[in-house]
Structure 1
Amino acid sequence: MGQTDSKKKLGRFELRVSEDDQDVAYLRLPSHPGETCKMSKSIRLAELMGSYAGPDVVLDFDQDGVLVGIEILA
């Protein structure tokens, strides 16, 4: 995907499934700034909910503490 395509996607939900591993997906939230986003913090859902027993879910936050993406590993 080129840089022009990335800019068009800003402000929208976008779900990507890994080409290398079909059990990995990433949901970009409308707050995601695009390809050059540097995550400040990633937190596993299991860390927040000790009794969570579902797929591995990772919440990605930007440098301002805004949730920008969710990675799901089935």
Structure 2
Amino acid sequence: MTARTLPNSVPANRASFPFVTWLRSRLLARWYGRHLQRLDLAEVDDHLLRDLGLTPEDVRRECAKSFWQA
């Protein structure tokens, strides 16, 4: 049985690492922002919901979604 060794060269996709990090941070920021918006929406009273053209059922449906769902 022979031991496997890692290649000495740097993988070609290593150059894209900053982009992947940036993309991941943007995604996490979007998810967190969506979560905060739904928390705020849950606190809006009925009078303001009517002004926005939303029903309490619309708010319940939106707030029941997970943070990754648009």
* TM bracket (short chain): under 0.3
TM-score (norm 1): 0.23
TM-score (norm 2): 0.24
Q: Which has the higher strand share?
A: 1
Of structures 1 and 2, the larger Rg is shown by: 2
Q: Which has the higher helix share?
A: 2
